[in-house]
Amino acid sequence: MNLIQASRLATFGLVLCLVQPAQAQIARTPVGTVDATIDGTPYPGETLDIPSEGTSTAEFRSMGPVTSISIQAHNPEAESIMRDVLTIEVSLMGGDASSSIMDVSVSWWPDGMSEPFYLSEDSGTPPEIVFDALSLEEGAAAAQGRFSAVVCRRDSMFADADKNDCRQVEGAFDTDLRKAA
C-alpha cells in the first residue's frame, strides 16, 4: 500500500468516525446524491452534512494550486450508515470544471471498515471522472459529474488486489461541497 492509499483509507475512517456519533444525535441532512451501479446493481447513495461537527461527507480542500475533493456516499437503505459506502476522490490542478485532473480513486465499502472492501487502485483500469459543473465558491460550493471505475477486492488494508474479484462501478454525482476544516 502506498502513501496515497494509506491517506485515503485514513480519511475514509475519519469521516466514518465523525458520521456515526453525529447520526446517533441528529437526523441525517442529505446534501447530494450519487446514483450509481455496482456490477449492474443500482446504488442509491447520498452525501450528508453534519452541522454539529462542522463537516460533511462531501468536502474539498485547496493546497496552493491543487484542489482535493472527496465525495463519500452512504446508502440510505443499508442497515447501518457505516455500511455500503461508495467514495470518489479526485485531485485537480485548479478549482473549476475545466481543471486538469491529476488523480482519481473510487472505493466501495460494503461492510464499512470491515474487510473485504474494493479499491480502484491496482485494478489495471484507471478510473475516469468528468465534471459537468464545479464551484468552490464559499456558500455555493457544489459538484456535478459522472464517473466510472473498476474496483477490485482487498481482504485487508495491506493485501494485494484480487483481480479475480473486480466490479464495474459507474454513475453520476450531484452534491453540495463543504470546505474541509
> What is d(CA 161, CA 122) in angstroms, rounded to the nearest whole number?
6
pLDDT at 170: 98
Residue 67 above 90 pLDDT? yes
* Region class of 157: left (phi > 0), else alpha (psi between -120 and 50), else beta: alpha
> What is d(CA 26, CA 160) in angstroms, rounded to the nearest whole number?
38
- Identify the band that residue 22 occupies on the pLDDT scale cut at 50, 70 and 90: very low
CA-based angle 115:10:136, to the nearest 5?
125
- Identify the band that residue 10 occupies on the pLDDT scale cut at 50, 70 and 90: very low
pLDDT at 181: 84
Name the least confident of 5-9, 40-44, 90-94, 177-181. 5-9
Residue 11 above 80 pLDDT? no
- Total number of residues shown for the chain: 181
> What is d(CA 108, CA 106) in angstroms, rounded to the nearest whole number?
7
- Identify the band that residue 92 occupies on the pLDDT scale cut at 50, 70 and 90: very high
| Burial of 83 from C-beta contacts in 10 A (0-12 / 13-18 / 19+) | middle
Q: Are 165 and 153 in contact (CB under 8 A)?
A: yes
